[in-house]
Amino acid sequence: MGSSDLQAFRARILHFTSAPDIHTGAGVEYFDDGVLLVERGCVKALGRAEDLARQGLDLQSCRHYPDYVLMPGFIDTHVHYPQTRVIASYGEQLLDWLNDYTFPAELQFSDPDVATQAAQEFLQLLLQNGTTTAMVYTSVFAQSTHAFFSAAEKMNLRMIAGKVMMDRNAPAGLLDTPSSSEAECRELIEAWHHHKRLHYAITPRFAPTSSPQQLAIAGQLLRAYPNLYLQSHLAENTHEVAWIKNLFPQARDYVDVYDHYGLLGERSVFGHGIHLSDAEIARLAQTQTGIAFCPTSNLFLGSGLLDVARLEQAGVPLSIATDVGGGTSFSQLRTLSEAYKILQLQGQRLHPLKGLYMATLGNAKALKLDHLIGNFEKGKEADFILLNMNATPLQAMRQKTATQLIEQLFALMMLGDEHSIARTYIMGKLAFRRAEGDVLWVE
């Protein structure tokens, strides 16, 4: 200790060392009065304040936030940066929503100024919501992907992103071609993949908007470079599934379309996966292909209720995501709250420890980033948040009546949102601080 690079944060601290056992508490580490030591942006130590003091830490040197809960930053496994401005667009389900709102919004991203400004706005929104890492769709325009990576690099964020590949069934101005998409992806991968904290994801939007030739190129690219990701959409909406049958009559089912082009695997994450057969689920499990559960989007677009227990029992890797702009909030707390209700409607439960695990270490594992982020294991990158459990008068009241930690965390999960995020740190550096809000009464 004593190095000038050393920082000590003292607060209530919660993180997970593995998937939590809600009965025994295994996998959960909580300190009522804990200290997180950060050195050169990475975790140096974590423990009880009392224990670290005994080992020589001067507690006076700590930044002390006794009322806040310090947790790893949230991770979002599926979100669209060009859709920020069409969040909450009225009235349509998936296919009409894409045509009426999403495609026109994404057309704006042919303008580099729009893309640059939107990338910065989007990343600020993530930080305001306590999200420090995300797997992000950009637009079909390669410069919008460059703009995104440039903004993420400037903010020193760990991000995964890719240029959307789409060469059919969308407005002409939004289409690439198999060969232009291949050249642009190669250029982007070479510029950004494994540069600083950045990673590239091959991003065919979904099978209806890519020709068989383009899906084949996506598969070839995925195998041409080490450790690329793949992201796309799967079985979100029943009309989409029916369309797939027409577009790919030779395929056994929707999963088989992606399988045929070599797009399944441990580093692939498909949004939604609501309307799947047992055979499709078995194939996802066999290939360890991930599904991103997007609760607010599934409710907002009327897509359906994801049968989480069915996927988990089959062994499909599951993560939790906002899917903004189909989703209606950047907040993973809001997202968990809607997930809880989707499970309730099916006689299933989402325990707060499981929910908070999913939004942190669970999502890090789903993105194969758990050697770098997701909890406070020694050496990991110190991306973390301070949660204000009393962000509104109602929440302060509910926290007081909650006597147990689990009850407090559940109230946070159900009632919390971006206002619960007091501060967000990136590699030990403060990146966002919420101004204190007042509730004023006018007599």
Nearer to Zn ion, 323 or 418 (CB): 323
Please report, as residue ranges, which positions from 354 to 393 form the binding site for ligand GUN (by CB under 6 A): none
CB atoms inside a 10 Å sphere around CB 351: 16
Selected range binding Zn ion among 31-39, 86-94, 269-277, 373-381, rule: CB under 5 A: 269-277
Instruction: Please give the Cα distance from 15 to 262 (Å, whole number).
Output: 36
Under DSSP, the state recorded for 360 is: I
Nearer to Zn ion, 323 or 338 (CB): 323
Residues 295-334, mask of contacts with Zn ion (x by CB under 5 A): ----------------------------x-----------
How many whole angstroms from its chain centre is CA 292? 9
Angle formed at CA 221 by CA 220 and CA 227, multiple of 5 degrees: 120
**Residue 98 C-beta: closest distance to ligand GUN, Å:** 6
Nearer to Zn ion, 7 or 303 (CB): 303
Q: Considering the rule CB under 6 A, would residue 323 count as an interface residue with ligand GUN?
A: yes
Q: Considering the rule CB under 6 A, would residue 261 count as an interface residue with ligand GUN?
A: no
Phi, psi values for residue 44, rounded to 5°? -100, -40
Q: Which residue has the tokens 């050393």?
A: 6
Q: What are the residues whose beta carbons fall under 8 Å from the beta carbon of 314, sequence distance 6 or more?
A: 278, 281, 282, 284, 285
**Residue 78 C-beta: closest distance to ligand GUN, Å:** 8
Residues 215-254, mask of contacts with ligand GUN (x by CB under 6 A): ------------------x--x------------------
Per the omega criterion (within 30 degrees of 0), is the bond before 325 cis? Answer: yes
Q: How far is CA 354 from CA 19, 74, 358, in A?
A: 7, 14, 6
Which H or E element spans position 32?
strand 28-39
**Number of residues located near ligand GUN, criterion CB under 6 A:** 11
Instruction: Please give the Cα distance from 218 to 178 (Å, whole number).
Output: 9
Contact criterion met (CB below 8 Å) for 84 and 324:
yes
Contact criterion met (CB below 8 Å) for 322 and 294:
yes
Nearer to Zn ion, 82 or 271 (CB): 271
Residue 102 contact among Zn ion, ligand GUN, none, beta carbon within 5 to 8 Å by kind: ligand GUN
Residues 282-321, mask of contacts with ligand GUN (x by CB under 6 A): ---------------x------------------------
Residue 205 contact among Zn ion, ligand GUN, none, beta carbon within 5 to 8 Å by kind: ligand GUN
Nearer to Zn ion, 271 or 295 (CB): 271
Q: Considering the rule CB under 6 A, would residue 275 count as an interface residue with ligand GUN?
A: no
Instruction: Please give the Cα distance from 327 to 424 (Å, whole number).
Output: 22
Which H or E element spans position 371?
none
The two structure tokens encoding residue 440: 């004023």
Q: What are the residues whose beta carbons fall under 8 Å from the beta carbon of 154, sequence distance 6 or more?
A: none
Selected range binding ligand GUN among 58-66, 94-102, 151-159, 336-344, rule: CB under 6 A: 94-102
**Residue 185 C-beta: closest distance to ligand GUN, Å:** 18
Under DSSP, the state recorded for 330 is: S
Q: Considering the rule CB under 6 A, would residue 326 count as an interface residue with ligand GUN?
A: yes
Q: Report which residue's Cβ sits closest to ligand GUN.
A: 326
**Residue 431 C-beta: closest distance to ligand GUN, Å:** 27
Q: Considering the rule CB under 6 A, would residue 205 count as an interface residue with ligand GUN?
A: yes
Nearer to Zn ion, 219 or 271 (CB): 271
Instruction: Please give the Cα distance from 355 to 334 (Å, whole number).
Output: 11
**Residue 439 C-beta: closest distance to ligand GUN, Å:** 36
- Of 72, 130, 271, 428, the residue at the interface with Zn ion (CB under 5 A) is 271
Q: What are the residues whose beta carbons fall under 8 Å from the beta carbon of 256, sequence distance 6 or more?
A: 280, 283
Q: Considering the rule CB under 6 A, would residue 206 count as an interface residue with ligand GUN?
A: yes
Residue 331 contact among ligand GUN, Zn ion, none, beta carbon within 5 to 8 Å by kind: none
Q: Considering the rule CB under 5 A, would residue 73 count as an interface residue with Zn ion?
A: no
Contact criterion met (CB below 8 Å) for 73 and 373:
yes
Q: Amino acid letter at 347?
A: G
Residue 260 contact among Zn ion, ligand GUN, none, beta carbon within 5 to 8 Å by kind: none
- Under the rule (CB under 6 A), what is the footprint of ligand GUN? 80, 94, 98, 102, 205-206, 233, 236, 297, 323, 326
- Under the rule (CB under 5 A), what is the footprint of Zn ion? 271, 323
